[in-house]
Structure 1
Amino acid sequence: MAAPAVSAQALDPVPADVAAMAYRDTALDPKARAADLVSRMTLEEKAAQLGHTAPAIPRLGVPKYNWWNEGLHGVARAGVATVFPQAIGMAATWDEPMMTTVGDVVSTEFRAKYVERVHPDGGTDWYRGLTVWSPNINIFRDPRWGRGQETYGEDPYLTSRIGIGYIHGLQGNDPKFFKTVATSKHFAVHSGPESNRHKEDVYPSKFDLEDTYLPAFRATVTEGKAYSVMCVYNAVYGVPGCASDFLMEEKLRQNWGFPGFVVSDCGAAANIFREDALHYTKTAEEGVAVGLKAGMDLICGDYRNKMSTEVQPIINAVKAGQLPIAVVDQALVRLFEGRIRLGMFDPPASLPFAHITADDSDTPAHHAVALDMAKKSMVLLKNDGLLPLKAEPKTIAVIGPNADSLDALVGNYYGKPSKPVTVLDGIRARFPTAKIVYAEGTGLIGPAEPPVPDSVLCLDGACTKQGLTAEHFAGDDLQGAPVATRTEANARLDWQGEDKSSSARWTGYLKAPQSGEYRFRYLSEGGYKVWVGDKLVVDEWGVGDAPSILSGKTELEAGKVYPIKVEAFQRGPRGTQKLLWSPPVDMAGQAVDVAKTADFVVFVGGLSARVEGEEMKVEAEGFAGGDRTSIDLPKPQQQLLEKVIGTGKPTVLVLMSGSALGVNWADKHVPAIIEAWYPGGEGGHAVAQLIAGDYSPAGRLPVTFYRSVDALPGFSDYTMKNRTYRYFNGEVLYPFGHGLSYTTFAYANPKVSAASVAAGSSVTVSVDVSNSGAMDSDEVVQLYVSHPGGTAIRSLQGFQRVSLKKGETKTVQFKLDDRALSVVDEHGGRKVQAGQVDLWIGGGQPVSREGLTSAPGVKTSFTVTGSAVVSDKVAPK
C-alpha cells in the first residue's frame, strides 16, 4: 500500500526554537541561510549530510533527504509517470523549445511525487526528491556505447542546445526558487566502454577536450544555469574525475563561474581509493579528502557494489588533519543552499509551486505532450513511396521482437507508463477496420520468448493440480520468513506499490509439451534466477542498473515432469514480471506465414535497453557488457527480415533502438525504414500515425548511422579523429542531420549581415525556406560552418525547427557569435582566425551517396578579418 499523501499544510510545525534560527529567516539570502545552518552542526552531523542518503537532524529541524532522483526522460523509478521518448529520441526532434516544455512537465511530476510522499517532517525517500540527476550531456562519440541512448547525440552544439532546453524546463524560471535542480552529467569525457568504466584513465588530446568533450558542459552551466554537475567514474589525465582539481575547480568554478554543487556518480567517490578501481589513494580517508578538496560536494554511494557514502572516513580525515573543516563546510553550504532554493525550509504554501498536487502526474495533458514529442522524434530514414499509406490495408501483419514490447518503449532510466501503447497497440488503434495479425517471430538476439503458459505448470510431480507455490519476502534478498505464502497460477506478478525492496520465490513442476531445447528467462526489473530440474539454467541477479535479457538453455523430454524454481527481486514499484521461455517451435516460420496472409507488413525490430545499457550481462554475438561489438541488426532479426521481404509483401521496417544500426541490407531491399528510438508511453500511436500519414515526419538523426564499425578507431580510443560527421571521411549509411519528409522544401535567398567582419564580432545569417510540396510539415533548418583548412569538415552552429503549411515561406535567421566562429588549436586554445568562412543552410548536410540524395539547402560565405582569442572564462556579473 502506498504511503498516504501529505498536503503542504499537514507538515509538522517547526518548534519555536528552530523557527527562531537565522536559517529559517526567508528574508535572508539563501547562501547566508545555508551558512548559518551549517555552523550549528557537529562534525558527525556534517559528515552524514555529505552522503546522498542525508539523515534528519531533529534538533535543527532538518528533515532527511535522499538526493538520488532520476529524470532522464520523465520521472524515473517512482511508479507511474508520464514517459517521454528516450533522450536520444528527444534529441532527434531538434526542438529546443519543445525540450523546455517537456522539462516543465517532468518537473511538475517531480513536484507531484514529492508532495505525494513527503513525510510529516518534510523528509523524502529515494526517487521522491527534487534533485534530478539529468540530463546526460556526454558526447555519443562511438555507436558501440550502450549508454549513448541517454545522451543527445554526437554533436557538441546540438547537445548543448537540447540540454539547455531541458534544464530550463526542469529548474523553472522563478527568480528565487528552483522547481527542481538539474544535473549535467557525467563530467567529463565519459562515453564507454562500460566494462572498464571504474578503471578507465582517459587522456584526450587538448584539442578534443576543448573541441568536443567540454563545450556542452560549459554551455549548460554558463547559459543553462544547471545548479548541479555529476563527476565521473573514470580518471582524466591520471586523476579520478571526482578528485580532479582541473575539472571541478579550474574549469567548472573558476572559468565557468559555477555556483552549485558537484555530486559523484554513484560509487565514483569510492573509485578514488578502491583497489579494484582507480586506486588513486591508498585509503578511504585520503580518497574523500582529495575529492572534497578538489570540489566534489556530495557522495553518492552505490547499492549495486555495496559502497557506503564514506561517512566515517570523512570524520576520520577531518580529525587527522587530512581534510580541513572549512572544505566540509563549503560543500555543505552549497548543498543546503540548493535545498533552500528548492523551498524545503520555507512555508510550503508560500512557494510558487504550492498549487501542484499529487494529482498533477500522469495526466491526459502530459500524455498529449509525450505523444507530440514522440511524433516529432520519428526519423524517416528511407521511403521509396510506400509511405504514407494511400488507403487502409485489409490485412496488416505486425511482426518482430519490438512490436508488442514495453521495453522498446521506455529505454533505460524510466518511469512506468500507466497506459503504454506498443506499436501493435498503435496499429490496432489507427487502423480499426483492418484485420491485424501479429507474430513475434524472433527475439532481439535469439528465438522468440513468449510467456510460459499456466497449463504446463504444476504444484505436484504428478501434475494433478496446476499452479506454483509462491513465497513473497519483504526484502530484496529472500531472507527471513515470507510475508505471504500462497498458490499462484504462474511466476507472474504486477510488481508495484510501495517504494521498497521485495523478492519472491516460486516452486513447483513443469511438464514439457515436446522434446527439444528450451530457453528460459524471467522478465524482471530487478534480478532473477531460474532452475529447471537440478540445473541452474540462468542467473541474472542484477549486476548492473537493470537486468538484461540473459536466458539459459536446457534439454527437456516430451511428457516428462521437471522441478522448477524461480527467484526474483525488485527495488521500487517497477512493473510487470513474468516467466518466459523459448520452446522448440519454429516461430520464425509462423511469422513468415502470417506475412504471406497480409496486404501490408510492419516489421518492428532493433534493440532494447535489455541488450544495450549500463553494465549488464548479454551473451550474444555483437554485444559485450551493455556495449556492442557490432552495429549490425542482430542476426536472428536479419534472417527473419530477409524471409519476410522474400514474401514480396510491401513492408515498412520500424527500428526501435537507442543507437545507430548498420541496416545496409534493409537500405537496399526494404521500401521504407523508420527510426522510432525508444519512443515512450505513447510511442505506438506516433509510429502508427506516421505510417498512416496523419502527420509528416521531421525528425533528424542526432548521430551518424555508419555502415559498420570497421572504419572507426577502437572503442577505447577517445580520439575524435575519423569519428562523427565532423571528422569521419568515409561514406556513411545515413548522415547526422538526415531525415526525410512527406513533402518537399526549397531554400533560397541566403544573406549574411556583412560580407566582411572583424574577428570577435558576430554576424547574422538568414535564409528563406519554402514548403514546396503538398502537405503541411515541420522542417529542421540546419546551419553548418566550415573553415577552409580547418580541422572539422563542417560544424553545426545553428538549427531551428519551423512549421510550414504547404506553399508557405518563412525567413529563418541565425546569429553566429565569436565562439560559433572559432576554431580550437592543438593546445586547446580557442581563436577566431582570419579568412573565409563557408556556410551551408539546409535540411541536412550537403552529402549524398547512391540511393540517398543530399538534403535541400544553399551555400553562402563571408570573410573574417584579423584574429581574436576566445576566452574560456565567463566574465563575472
Structure 2
Amino acid sequence: MAKSILLATFFSLLIATTFPAIVEPGPSFACDGQMGSFPFCDRSLPINARVSDLIRRLTLPEKTRLLVNNAEGLARLGVPHYEWWSEALHGVSNVGPGTRFGGNVPGATSFPQVILTAASFNSSLWEEIGQAVSTEARAMYNEGLAGLTFWSPNVNIFRDPRWGRGQETPGEDPTVVGRYAGRYVRGLQNAFDAKDPNRLKVAACCKHYTAYDLDNWKGVDRFHFDAKVSKQDLEDTYQPPFETCVVEGRAASVMCSYNQVNGIPTCADPNLLTKTIRGDWGLNGYIVSDCDSVGVFYDSQHYTATPEDAAAIAIKSGLDLDCGPFLAEHTGEAMRKGKVSERDIDQALTNTFTVQMRLGMFDGNPAAQPFGQLGHKDVCTPPHQQLALEAARQGIVLLKNHRAALPLLPARVRTVAVIGPNADATFTMIGNYAGVPCGYTSPVQGIRRYAKAIYQPGCRGVACPTTDLFRPAIEAAQNSDATIMVMGLDQSIEAELRDREDLLLPGHQQELIQSVSMASRGPVVLVLMSGGPIDVSFAKDNNRVPGIIWAGYPGQAGGQAIADIVFGQYNPGGKLPMTWYPQEYVTKLPMTSMNMRPDPSKGYPGRTYRFYTGNTVYPFGHGSSYTKFTESIAQAPSMVSVPLDGKHGCFRNDTVSCQAVRVSHTRCSGLFMSLHIDVNNIGPMDGSHVVFVYSTPPQGHGAPSKQLVGFRRIHLPSNSQQQARFDIDVCRDLSIVDQFGLKKLPIGSHLFQVGELTHSVSLQLMKV
C-alpha cells in the first residue's frame, strides 16, 4: 500500500511540517465533558444529522485540512486530530503512523501472513482471526496507541507468481479471495451494538482497487504502470473480490491504487469509484487513496495539467480521503478557481465523519462505550497466541511425502540436523505489514522440543551468495538421524516495491539442498518459507528429499507449527491457494500483460488454474495428509430450470435459440442447487480435508477451463464419515463473463468436479 515503511514516516513528517497546527493541544477524544453539548455529540440523533451539524460548523480551511490521513484537530469544537492510517493485515501493525507499540503494549499477536492463512481454506478461521485482531486494535485505541481505521485486507488477485506482494493476498482464485475478504472484514468490523448493526468495532478497508498487482519489475513500477485490462478480465477476475468485500463484508472503506487502468488513474475514475463502488455496490463508507496516489497521478503520470485539476478530479470522481498532503495543499485553490465545489468537499467529509461516528469516535469517553473496558490485558492473550499457532498449523501444506517419510517419529529420530538460512528465522516468519509480535518460536526452537537439534545455517542469508558454509551443514547431516532444511525466501527477495524476475531459489540454495541430500544419513525434509511459488522441481523429482513442506510466512508461532507437523503432532491439511509454475513460465509472458486467457498464437499460456494451459510444479489446491480421504457424491440434481423474464427473446416457436442468456434477463435470483458430498477418512490418523467443488461450463463462451464454486474444510476422526452440503447459487456461481463484460448463464451441460469425481447438470430455460 504505502511506498515503504520509510515513506510512512516521510508523509507523517511532511504533513506535520506543512500543518503544524495538527499538534495543537486538545482533548484525547471528541464530545467529552462541556464539549459534548454540540448536537453532533448527541447520540440520540441520527448519524446523518450529527454529521451535517458538524460539517456546517467548519470553515473552508478547516475542511481542506480534514481531507488527508493526518487530519487536523478542531480545538474550538473539542475534536482532536486523527491519524487515519493504521494497518491490520494479519495482526495489528505499526507500519502506518496511526499505531505504535510501547508502554503496556510492547507488541501484538502476529498471525501468519495472509497467503498461508488462506491455505487453510477455513472461512470460520479467517473470521475468528479478524475478531482477535479487532479486539487487540480496540484495546490499543483505548490505550491511546492506535486509531480505529485499519487499511486492510489486501484483496488483489495473485495474478503473477513474481509479484512481491502476492504474500499479502488470499491467492489467485476470485471466489477464495472474495470469501476471505468478506469473512475477515466481518471479523474486524464486528458491529459492537447488537441493537444498532450500523456501529463498527473497527473500520476495515478493501485494497488496492483495482487491477493492481505489479510493483517494480524490470524498470516498470506501479507509479507509472497503465494496466491494459479487457472488460471480460476486469469483470470476471479483478473486480469480484472487491465486490464481495463491499457487498458481503460490508467494508467501511475501499482504497484506490497507484496504477492506471486503461489510461485512467484509479483514484481519478468516476466510473470505478462513484458509479461502481458507491453506486452499484452500495459502499457505506469512505474511499481513500493509496499513499500519495493523487500526487502520483499529477507528478509522475502527468494526468492533469495543474495540481488543482488533480485535486478537483479526485474529489469529483468520488475520492473522500487522501493518504498524503496533496488534497490539503491544493483543494482550497481548486475551489477558488471553480474547479471543485464546497458541496463536493462536504460530501467527502460526510463519508469520513459518518464512519468515525459509526465507530463511536464522537460519543465521548470510550471507556463508557461498548468495548471500552478493553485494554493492554487483552493484547497477546493466551487464546490469541494459541489461535496464531492453530492458524499456522492449518495453513501449512504438505507438498510431497514419498513413501510416507513423514511424520518423523521422535522414538526413532533422536538427533536432527536443522539446516538453512530460515532454520532459525524469527522476523522472516511474520512477512510484511506486520507489527511487533508477542514473541517468536523459530523452527530450530520448535524442533528442539522433539529432538536434539544440530543447527547449521548453510548459507549467509537467503541470498546464499557463497558455498563457504556448506561443509559444516553437510557434516551435521552425516551425523544425524534426519535432516530438516528450512530454505526459501524473505523480504529481501519478495516484498512491496520488489517483484521477482524468476521462480528459483536464490543463490546457492539449490546446490546446498542437493549436497546435503546426497550426504544425509537419514531422510531429508525440505521446508520452504515464501509468499510466492518456487520452482523446486529438482527436489520434487529427487527421492533423497522425500518430504517437502510449504510454510509460507507462518507468523510468530511458525517454528512450533512446523515442528508439530514434521513430528506428527498435527496432521497437515493445508492446500495451495496459488499455482506453482515451472521457471519456464516467466519466459513466456511479461508481468505487464494483464490478460488472463491463453493466446496460443503468441505462445501465451494464460494465468492461474482457471486459464493456464501449461505444466505445473504443484497445482492450485494441492496438498497431502498423513491420512487418506475419499469422496463420493451422495446427492445432486441432473437438471435445473432457469426462469426468464420478457427481455430475452430465447424462444422461437417453443424452440430454445439461446446458447447463453444474460443474468439480468433471468428470474433466478435466489435459485440454488445443492450438492451433497460424503467424505470418508479411511486412514490411520484424525485429520482435516478440504472439499473443492469446481464447475466447467459448456465450451465456446471464453469461459475458464474450470472455476471454483465451493469449498469447505472439515475435520474427521480416523475411520469416520461426514457429509458436506454445498448450495450453489446458479446465477452467481455458474455464470460466465463475455467479451463485453456482461454476465451470462450458459445453457446446457455444466460439469461439476469433486476430486476425481464428475457429475453433469443440465441448465434448461423455462418460460414464466
Normalised by the length of structure 1, the TM-score is 0.76
- Give the deviation of 1:614 after TM superposition: 1.0
Q: CA deviation at 1:445?
A: 4.6
Which of the residues 22, 35, 38 maps onto 1:21?
38
Change beyond 3 A, Cα 1:12–1:318: closer
Post-superposition offset of 1:167: 0.3
Moved more, 180-189 or 634-643: 634-643
Please list, as runs of the form range in 1=range in 2, the aligned pairs for 1:691-840 lying within 5 A after superposition. Answer: 691-708=566-583, 709-710=585-586, 712-721=588-597, 722-753=606-637, 755-758=639-642, 760=668, 761-789=671-699, 790=701, 791-817=703-729, 818-840=731-753
Secondary structure of 1:27's partner? Answer: coil
Q: Does 1:372 align with 2:254?
A: no
CA distance in 2 between counterparts of 1:409 and 1:614 reads 16
Match of 2:272 in 1: 247
One-letter amino acid of the structure 2 residue matched with residue 598 of structure 1: S
Describe the SS at the equivalent of 2:389: helix
Shift of 1:413: 0.4
Q: For 1:609, which of 491, 500, 507 is the aligned residue?
A: 491
Question: What does residue 129 of structure 1 align with?
Answer: 147
Q: Give 1:112-151 correspondences, 5 Å limit.
A: 112-117=139-144, 128-151=146-169
Alpha-carbon distance, 1:353 to partner: 1.0
Q: Is the 8 A contact 2:573 2:688 kept in 1?
A: yes
CA contact (8 A) 1:374 1:682 kept: yes
Q: Does 1:688 align with 2:563?
A: yes
Instruction: Name which of 616, 627, 634 aligns with 2:506.
Output: 634
Aligned position for 1:154: 172
Q: Is the CA contact (8 Å cut-off) linking 1:400 and 1:443 kept in structure 2?
A: no
Q: How far apart in 2 are the matches of 1:647 and 1:204?
A: 50
1:387 aligns with 2:406: yes
When the two chains are superposed, the root-mean-square deviation of aligned CA atoms in Å is: 1.7
Provide the C-alpha distance between the structure 2 equivalents of 1:155 and 1:740, rounded to a whole number of angstroms: 20
User: Are 2:487 and 2:527, in contact at CA under 8 Å, matched by a contact in 1?
Assistant: yes
Distance (whole Å) between structure 2 residues aligned to residue 198 and residue 398 of structure 1? 42
Q: Match of 2:399, SS?
A: strand
Aligned to 1:871: none
Superposed counterparts of 1:30-109, under 5 Å:
30-77=47-94, 78-79=100-101, 80-109=107-136
Does structure 1 retain, via aligned residues, the 8 Å contact 2:136–2:379?
yes
Partner amino acid for 1:836? S
Q: CA deviation at 1:53?
A: 0.3
Map of 1:588 onto structure 2: 470
SS at match of 1:653: strand
- Partner SS, residue 726 of structure 2: strand
- Aligned-residue sequence identity (percent) comes to 40
Q: Which of 537, 542, 553 matches 1:678?
A: 553
Shift of 1:730: 1.1
Residues 142 and 372 in structure 2, CA contact (< 8 A), matched pair in contact too: no
Q: What SS does the corresponding residue of 1:182 show, helix, strand or coil?
A: coil
- Which letter maps to 1:111? R
Question: What is the CA–CA distance in structure 1 between the aligned matches of 2:53 and 2:504, rounded to whole Å?
Answer: 58
Q: CA deviation at 1:586?
A: 2.2
Q: Say yes or no: does 1:665 pair with 2:538.
A: yes
Q: Is the 8 A contact 2:28 2:80 kept in 1?
A: no
The aligned runs of 1:354-753 (5 Å cut-off) are 354-384=372-402, 385-392=404-411, 393-429=413-449, 431=450, 434-447=451-464, 586-615=468-497, 626-649=498-521, 650-669=523-542, 670-708=545-583, 709-710=585-586, 712-721=588-597, 722-753=606-637
The reply on whether 1:199 has 2:81 as its aligned counterpart is: no
In the alignment, the residues of structure 1 paired with residue 152 and residue 593 of structure 2 have an alpha-carbon distance, to the nearest angstrom, of 26
In structure 2, C-alpha distance between the alignment counterparts of 1:111 and 1:693, rounded to whole Å: 37
What secondary structure is seen at the aligned counterpart in 1 of 2:65?
Answer: helix
Structure 1 residue 744: deviation in Å?
Answer: 0.6
Matched, 1:339 2:356: yes
Opposite residue 133 of structure 2, the aligned amino acid is: V
Q: Give the structure with the higher percent helix.
A: 2
Report the more deviating stretch, 311-320 or 439-448. Answer: 439-448
Rate the CA distance shift 1:447–1:157 in 2: closer, same or farther, 3 A: closer
Distance 1:419 1:672 in 2: 28
Structure 1 letter corresponding to 2:428: A
Cα shift readout 1:239-259 (whole Å, capped 9, x = no counterpart): 111011110011111111112
Amino acid of the structure 1 residue aligned with 2:213: S
* Contact 1:289–1:314 under 8 Å retained in 2: yes
SS in 2 for 1:89: helix
CA distance in 2 between counterparts of 1:47 and 1:365 reads: 44
Equivalent position of 2:260 in the other structure: 235
Alpha-carbon separation, structure 2, partners of 1:706 and 1:345: 51
Aligned 8 A contact 2:419 2:473 in 1: yes
With over 3 angstroms needed to count, the CA separation of the structure-2 counterparts of 1:315 and 1:834, relative to structure 1, is same
1:707 positional shift: 1.4
Q: Which residue of 1 aligns with 2:658?
A: none
Alignment partner, residue 164 of structure 1? 182
- C-alpha distance in 2 between matches for 1:359 and 1:390: 39
> Contact 2:142–2:367 (CA<8 Å) still a contact in 1?
no
The residue aligned with 1:278 is 301
Q: How many residues align?
A: 680
2:487 partner amino acid? G
Partner of 2:371: 353
Distance in structure 2 (CA, Å) of the matches to 1:281 and 1:749: 58
3-state SS of paired residue (1:153): coil
Residues 134, 867 of structure 1: CA spacing in aligned structure 2 closer, same or farther, 3 A cutoff? farther
Normalised TM-score (structure 2): 0.86
C-alpha contact (below 8 Å) 1:444/1:634 kept by paired residues: no
Which AA in structure 1 matches 2:536?
A: V
User: Does the aligned pair in 1 maintain the 2:698–2:747 contact within 8 Å?
Assistant: no
CA distance in 2, matches of 1:331, 1:272: 20
Give the direction of change, closer, same or farther, for the CA distance of 1:414–1:104 in structure 2 (3 Å limit). Answer: same
| 1:293 is aligned to 2:316 | yes
Q: Is the 8 A contact 2:160 2:607 kept in 1?
A: yes
Deviation at 1:13, TM superposition (A): 8.7
Q: Runs of 5+ in structure 1 lacking a partner?
A: 1-9, 119-127, 302-307, 449-581, 616-625, 843-856, 869-877
TM superposition shift of 1:677: 0.2
1:711–1:772 Cα change, 3 Å: farther
**More strand by percentage:** 1
CA contact (8 A) 1:779 1:801 kept: yes
Say if 1:704 and 1:735, in contact at 8 Å, map to a contact too: yes
C-alpha contact (below 8 Å) 1:396/1:602 kept by paired residues: yes
Which residue matches 1:111? Answer: 138
Deviations 1:629-680 (A, max 9, x none): 1101123111111110110431100000001001010101111000000000
Q: Moved runs in structure 1, 4+ residues, more than 3 A?
A: 10-18, 443-448
* CA distance, structure 1, for counterparts of residue 49 and residue 406 of structure 2: 61
What is the rounded CA distance, in whole Å, between the counterparts of 2:494 and 2:633 in structure 1?
Answer: 45
Task: Answer yes or no: is the 8 Å Cα contact 2:110–2:438 preserved in 1.
Answer: no
The separation in 1 between residues aligned to 2:640 and 2:346, in whole angstroms, is 53
Q: Distance in 1 between matches of 2:430 and 2:386?
A: 17
For the Cα contact (< 8 Å) 2:490–2:529, is it kept in 1? yes
In structure 2, stretches of 5+ residues that fail to align are 1-26, 95-99, 102-106, 598-605, 644-667
Helix, strand or coil at the partner of 1:333 = helix
CA contact (8 A) 1:781 1:799 kept: yes
Q: Report the secondary structure of 2:205's partner residue.
A: strand
| Superposition deviation, residue 342 in structure 1 | 0.8
Quote the Cα distance in structure 1 between the aligned partners of 2:182 and 2:517.
Answer: 43
